[in-house]
């Protein structure tokens, strides 16, 4: 019996050590999956900026076909370039905007759109192939696997929405539908948010405990801010879609008015929110003003609450991101939408969205 008791004592440390190593391996897998998702987030961030530049340079309608596989290769010789250019000549953009454009000038807008689409394909592979690897190695559990599969499906729908958007500018009007453009932008932000939230959850899972009442209120406040930032992004999509940034290039007033008189000039009235430059820009400005009040208020409350240091840092970054984004927006407006500033403003929107998502995550962690 003594021998068996001694054997049991010798086995316990080994069992405990095995359990410890299993948990460590699990956390290692979580860290690996999170790192992969953050890399995908960086790629999507780049995609959003490149998409903005493509739109600003009027390059998005230069490729008139959607060929997910064959379209991976660009024209490789003069004959193929001429064939591609002849297809572009049939579009309303060539006939109404770029009539007489040379092949060399066409190449300039083609390469931007080609890179935009190629980056989209690269993101698909960068997500799908590691996903299969992690599944095969059993690095992800069932619930996480379903979340990741949902993100992949959403990415596929985003590609289809991109072509659906481009197709709207190949018929009569050489501009894409502002509705489809805004939907395309909004889905990109949703995909980014889904990957970022999952990554944060893997790196910093919830601990046991409960929320303090003040923390609950801050959490609700941060959720409201997140929704408001997302709505501001959507209004920015409509501003870009109807090129409202090229009008009312004054600040803080809109050509001398707090509320421009043209704000309800379209009938029926509700179409003004999507088709009227004055209304669309006013809505975008109004949300920016709301955030300019609410985010500093949230920051002040967070600084005076009993929060962990990292949560306070997240609140600081949120405030800084808002200040930078508002400065970029005003500069873009006053200088009549220069491409570098406008692209930076679009990047700033996603940076601000990232900051508010991080704040949300920090407030949902339960710490005793």
pLDDT for 346: 96
CA 206-135-143 angle, to 5 degrees, is: 40
Q: How far apart are CA 120 and CA 163, in angstroms?
A: 12
Q: Answer yes or no: are the C-beta atoms of 298 and 221 closer than 8 Å.
A: yes
Q: What is the pTM of this model?
A: 0.90
Average pLDDT for 187-194: 97
Give the pLDDT confidence of 300-332 residue by residue, as tens digits. 999 998 888 999 999 999 999 999 999 999 999
pLDDT greater at residue 11 or residue 236: 236
User: Residue 16's pLDDT is what?
Assistant: 44
Mean pLDDT, residues 177-195 taken together:
97
> Which is nearest to 61 in space by CA: 169, 183, 164, 159?
169
Concatenated DSSP letters for 203-269? HSPPPSS---HHHHHHHHHHHHHHHHHHHHHHHHHHHHHTTGGGS---SSSBTTBSS-GGGG-SSSG
Is residue 152 within 8 A of residue 128, CB to CB? The reply is yes
Mean pLDDT of 232-248: 96
Tokens matching residue 59: 């390059």
Cα separations in angstroms, 216 against 101, 278, 295, 300, 362: 59, 38, 17, 16, 12
End-to-end Cα separation, the chain, in angstroms: 45
Model confidence at 207, pLDDT cuts 50, 70, 90, reads low
The residues with which 254 forms a beta bridge, in sequence order, are 257
The answer to whether the CB of 284 falls within 8 A of the CB of 239 is: yes
227 CB burial (10 A radius; 0-12, 13-18, 19+): exposed
Which residue stretches of the chain are H helix?
2-56, 78-89, 92-96, 103-136, 142-167, 178-203, 213-241, 272-275, 277-303, 309-334, 339-364
- Condensed to tens digits (0 to 9), the pLDDT of residues 110-158 reads 999 999 999 999 999 999 999 999 999 988 988 899 999 999 999 999 9
Task: Count Cβ atoms below 10 Å from residue 97 Cβ, excluding itself.
Answer: 13
Of the candidates 229, 219, 218, the residue with the CA atom closest to the CA atom of residue 290: 229
Token couple for 238? 């409509």
Residue 360 · residue 223 · CB < 8 Å: yes
Q: What would the pLDDT profile of 22-63 be if each residue is shown by its tens digit?
A: 344 477 889 999 999 999 999 999 999 999 999 999 999 999
Give the separation between CA 74 and CA 58, rounded to whole angstroms: 19
The per-residue pLDDT for range 59-108, each reduced to its tens digit, is 999 999 888 776 678 999 999 999 999 999 999 999 999 999 999 999 99
Segment 180-185 shows an average pLDDT of: 96
Kindly give the interhelix angle for 339-364 and 309-334, rounded to the nearest 10 degrees: 160
Tell me what percent of the residues of the chain surpass a pLDDT of 90.
79
Q: 3-state class of 168 per DSSP?
A: coil
- Report how far residue 223's alpha carbon sits from residue 359's, in angstroms, rounded to the nearest whole number: 9
pLDDT band at 211 (very low <50, low <70, confident <90, very high): low
Domain ranges of the chain: 29-177, 206-368
Is the distance from CB of 260 to CB of 244 less than 8 angstroms? no
pLDDT given at position 9: 46
């Amino acid at each position: 019996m003594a021998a068996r008791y001694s054997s049991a004592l010798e086995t316990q440390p080994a069992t405990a050590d095995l359990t410890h190593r299993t948990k460590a391996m699990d956390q290692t897998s979580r860290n690996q999956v999170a790192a992969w998702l953050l890399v995908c987030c960086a790629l999507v961030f780049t995609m959003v900026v490149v998409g903005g530049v493509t739109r600003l340079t009027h390059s998005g309608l230069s490729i008139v076909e959607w060929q997910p596989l064959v379209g991976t290769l660009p024209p490789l010789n003069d004959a193929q370039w001429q064939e591609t250019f002849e297809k572009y000549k049939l579009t309303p953009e060539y006939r109404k905007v770029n009539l007489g454009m040379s092949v060399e000038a066409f190449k300039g807008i083609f390469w931007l759109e080609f890179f935009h689409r190629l980056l989209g394909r690269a993101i698909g592979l960068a997500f799908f192939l590691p996903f299969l690897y992690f599944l095969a190695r059993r690095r992800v559990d069932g619930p996480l696997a379903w979340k990741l599969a949902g993100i992949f499906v959403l990415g596929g729908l985003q590609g289809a929405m991109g072509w659906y958007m481009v197709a709207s500018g190949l018929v009569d009007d050489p501009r894409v539908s502002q509705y489809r453009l805004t939907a395309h932008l909004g889905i990109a932000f949703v995909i980014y948010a889904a990957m970022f939230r999952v990554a944060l959850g893997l790196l910093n899972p919830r601990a046991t405990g409960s929320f303090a009442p003040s923390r609950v209120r801050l959490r609700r406040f941060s959720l409201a801010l997140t929704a408001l930032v997302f709505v501001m992004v959507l209004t920015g999509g409509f501003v870009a879609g109807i090129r409202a940034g090229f009008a009312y290039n004054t600040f803080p007033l809109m050509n001398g008015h707090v509320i421009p008189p043209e704000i309800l000039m379209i009938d029926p009235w509700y179409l003004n929110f999507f088709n009227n430059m004055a209304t669309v820009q006013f809505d975008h400005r109004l949300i920016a003003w709301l955030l300019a009040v609410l985010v500093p208020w949230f920051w002040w409350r967070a600084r005076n609450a009993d929060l962990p240091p990292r949560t306070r840092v997240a609140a600081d970054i949120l405030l800084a991101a808002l200040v930078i984004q508002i400065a970029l927006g005003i500069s873009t407006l006053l200088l009549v939408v220069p491409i570098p500033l406008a692209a930076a403003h679009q990047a700033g929107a996603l940076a601000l969205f990232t900051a508010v998502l991080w704040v949300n995550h920090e407030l949902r962690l339960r710490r005793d």
